[in-house]
Structure 1
Amino acid sequence: MKKNSKIEYKSKEENAFSLSTGDLMAGLLFIFILLLMGALLQVQEKSEQDEEIVKRYDQIKTQLYIDLQDEFKEDLTVWRATIDSTLCIRFQEPSMLFDEGLDELKPNFKVILNDFFPRYIAVLSRPQYKDNIVEIRIEGHTNSNGDYYSNMKLSQDRTRAVLQYCFGLMKKKDVNWLRGLVTANGLSSSHLILTKDGHEDKNLSRRVEFRVRTNAEKHLEDIADKRFNRKKND
């Protein structure tokens, strides 16, 4: 009898130990589940925040496009210019811009810029846009005629001439703001305009463009980088 009692007592001790280990494992599993749920909630909240940022800046960009359209809708046809949803205003009548091979602004283009540029900056400097603009690009483009490198120099000289002339139209306080934003970019024949059948439109390829970059692009790039890094680390 005594021997059986010892065996029974020992068995109870082992069962008690087993229960304690089981409880410990269950507790650890519960903690793990809580941590996992917390991490998933953080990912979901971050994703929702990213979507809100994308939506907000997309709305700013869309509204800026609408306001630029409203401002210049009566003038675009006269200027032989277009505006698209990428916030690019394209002056596409080369005979009004520069003489072939030269970087001096033609009188007609000066008249256009006299009217266009101050109004353009007035829209961009509105409170809802001013802090969201990171670059105003003046781009010069040539067609594929001639040497690529010579055309690069020509397009750069032309954009600098446009920038200098436009700055001369503005008040000093506006110039101080614009110096941190406006860039002159000569692109030679690297961005040709093509017809529907894929051939170069040599006339339209010779053009000057004004482009706006908002910090929407920067935020979208940051979000894309974060998502890529998260996937890479998973």
Structure 2
Amino acid sequence: MEEKSSHWITISDMMSGIMMIFMMIAIAFMVTIENDKKQLEQQNDKMRDLAKNYSNLQQELYKDLMKEFGKDLMKWNAFIDEDTTIRFQKQDILFDVGQKRVKERFQHILNDFFPRYIKILYSEKYRDFIEDIRIEGHTSQDWEGAQSLERRYLGNAELSQERAFQVLKYCFSLPSIADKQEWLITLLRANGVSFAKPLATDELSRRVEFQASFKANEQIQKILEAASNKK
């Protein structure tokens, strides 16, 4: 009888041990989930802060651009969007039809606009946060003599790229920004967009745009990499 009782005690102890193991695993799992939850909350907080900072920078830049150029926009036939895109949008001022040479009237505008624009972007408020400064050439969907979509697109892609480059070349050579050239080399880009981003009319679609973008993508990538390294 004693031997049988001892046998059941051993099984009972074993079951208790197994239960303790399961409890420890459950507790460890709960702790892991709680830690992951805290890490996720921290990442979300960082992302929210980043989004807020990005939005604040855009808003501040928009205000500074409007303060600097607001009185000039009408005479330049220009427009500043809330995403800080500056749009020069009157074809007969910018280029001759089908040509890439920057017209004299647009050169005078760039002489006035670009040094003031760079002065804002180079200010302490924005300088370290700028990822790139893009000059974009845009066209309408027209292309003389072209019947196919491919011919119209490729012809306008080449023309828009040449126009954007000619604007970049002219701006970069201005004596008034000579002391910023090394900085601009790392940031200034010329992109031809063809008619990929049309506006309401063909006339408005034929335009040149300037836009500075901030380092949000770079910061997001750093946060994601940091989170990945903790796993």
Unaligned runs of 5+ in 2: 147-151
5 Å-filtered alignment, 1:8-47, equals: 8-47=5-44
Which consecutive residues of structure 1, in runs of 5 or more, have no partner in the other structure?
A: 195-200
Tell me, in whole angstroms, the C-alpha distance in 1 between the residues paired with 2:36 and 2:27.
14
* TM-score computed with the length of structure 2 as normaliser: 0.85
Distance verdict in 2 for CA 1:70–1:22, change over 3 Å? same
Offset of residue 223 of structure 1? 8.2
Given that 2:98 and 2:159 are in contact with CA atoms closer than 8 Å, whether structure 1 keeps it comes out as yes
Q: Whole-Å Cα distance in 2 between the matches of residues 218 and 192 of structure 1?
A: 29
Equivalence for 1:123: 120
The answer to whether the Cα contact below 8 Å between 1:144 and 1:189 also exists between their aligned partners in 2 is yes
Tell me: CA distance 1:186–1:25, structure 2 relative to 1, closer, same or farther (3 Å). Answer: closer
Instruction: Report how many residues are paired.
Output: 218
Which residue among 159, 162, 183 is the counterpart of 2:167? 162
Higher CA-based Rg: 1
Query: Which residue in the other structure is 2:156 paired with?
Result: 151
Return the alpha-carbon distance in structure 1 between the equivalents of residues 142 and 29 of structure 2: 67
1:192 alignment counterpart: 198
Which one of 172, 189, 203 corresponds to residue 178 of structure 2?
172
Evaluate the alpha carbon distance shift between residue 27 and residue 186 of structure 1 in structure 2; reply closer, same or farther with a 3 A threshold. closer
Partner of 1:213: 213
Secondary structure of residue in 2 paired with 1:131: helix
Conserved? CA contact 2:100–2:163, under 8 Å: yes
* 1:69-113 deviations in Å (ceiling 9; x for gaps): 111111111111001122210001111111222222222111111
RMSD of aligned alpha carbons: 2.3
1:164-198 CA deviation, whole Å, 9 max, x = no partner?
A: 1111214433111111111111222232212xxxx
Q: Report the secondary structure of 1:82's partner residue.
A: strand
% identity of equivalent residues = 33
> Cα 1:27–1:88, aligned 2, differ >3 Å: closer, same or farther?
same
CA contact under 8 A between 2:43 and 2:223: conserved in structure 1?
Answer: no
* TM-score of the superposed pair, with normalisation by structure 1: 0.84
Give a deviation string over 1:24-53, Cα, whole Å, max 9, x none.
322232222222212221122222222112
Amino acid at match of 1:186: G
